[in-house]
Amino acid sequence: IGDAPTFASNSLLPSCPVSSRVPDPSTVSAVQRPGRCGQRGSWEEQRSKSKICANVFCGAGRECAVTEKGEPTCLCIEQCKPHKRPVCGSNGKTYLNHCELHRDACLTGSKIQVDYDGHCKEKKSVSPSASPVVCYQANRDELRRRIIQWLEAEIIPDGWFSKGSNYSEILDKYFKSFDNGDSHLDSSEFLKFVEQNETAVNITAYPNQENNKLLRGLCVDALIELSDENADWKLSFQEFLKCLNPSFNPPEKKCALEDETYADGAETEVDCNRCVCSCGHWVCTAMTCDGKNQKGVQTHTEEEMTRYAQELQKHQGTAEKTKKVNTKEI
């Protein structure tokens, strides 16, 4: 009977005939038991599993199994059907079919979704920005000019029977509105103040909107640095007043490198990274360099950026100290 042929029955389960002979079309073979021949006991197990797991729903990539205690549990699918319908996962990996994708997600404990049908397309490597996003002195001064113009437009002259608002009072009003209670404005509070006026905040120097948004924050930092006398990156009201004083003329700062000074906007290279002089500071890209060809690989980390910037700032600091000593001697 173990070698007897298996026949399909009217039910979903196959059946095994009593006779081991090849069946004659004119005769009807009696069914010995449900299930495949040579698999004694497996049908009972399958029937038990089907009954226990009847009302159990397992998510994609999982299937119901019966524990030793006879309780249902969901496990990762042991083996998917080998039908070929490739899909590209959200992790960039191609799978033979949906089942394989969900099974892999289950086994790895990660969230993988179908990105699109078919094999994953090779992604083109995106080259990093050739130059860093910076706020030049011209950008800083333009933002400052717009803010002052906006504030001056709110000045109200004193009337015959009413008191108006002068420039200092308007600044005081905005300072108190955005101060969090420590009597200082930090960069985030200053930026919120600037964002109150669309014309003032809408400085665009880059085609990319994200870069322009970053530019606003950088220019706010540059404005704070103008009058931040104690270098705490916060402005007291007096420092805030000085920063936006219409009669104040911001000084032009240059960058130093190897006993030479560079004007705002000047560029140089350190290894494979491009550095730009911005408001008296060197600002660099942060790419990992290949020693063989000195080409950058797209790795932008704060650690890398700090390392390259510090290297240039050492030259900047040394040059400024030398300049002060020479001035004293004169």
Q: Which residues contact 283 (CB under 8 A, 6 or more apart)?
A: 132, 134, 275, 276, 309
Q: How confident is the model at residue 42 (pLDDT cuts 50, 70, 90)?
A: low
Which pLDDT score is estimated for 111? 86
Report how far residue 304's alpha carbon sits from residue 288's, in angstroms, rounded to the nearest whole number: 8
Res. 244: pLDDT tops 60: yes
Q: How confident is the model at residue 203 (pLDDT cuts 50, 70, 90)?
A: confident
| 167 vs 24, higher pLDDT | 167
Give tens-digit pLDDT for 113-134. 888 999 998 865 545 557 788 9
Buried b (16+ CB within 10 A) or exposed e, 266-305: bebebebbbbbbbbbbbbbbbbbbeeeeeebeeeeeeebb
Q: How confident is the model at residue 140 (pLDDT cuts 50, 70, 90)?
A: very high
Residue 176 burial (CB count, 10 A)? 11
pTM, 2 dp: 0.51
Res. 292: pLDDT tops 50: no
| 213 vs 219, higher pLDDT | 219
The closest alpha carbon to 106, from 116, 94, 98, 115, belongs to 98
Which pLDDT score is estimated for 249? 93
Report how far residue 186's alpha carbon sits from residue 184's, in angstroms, rounded to the nearest whole number: 6
Structural domains in the chain, sorted by start: 1-45 (no CATH), 53-120 (3.30.60.30), 137-243 (1.10.238.10), 255-329 (no CATH)
Q: Looking at the chain, how many residues does it have?
A: 330
Res. 80: pLDDT tops 50: yes
Amino acid identity of 7? F
| Cα-based distances in Å from 40 to 5, 11, 31, 37, 302 | 14, 18, 14, 7, 66
Amino acid identity of 12? L
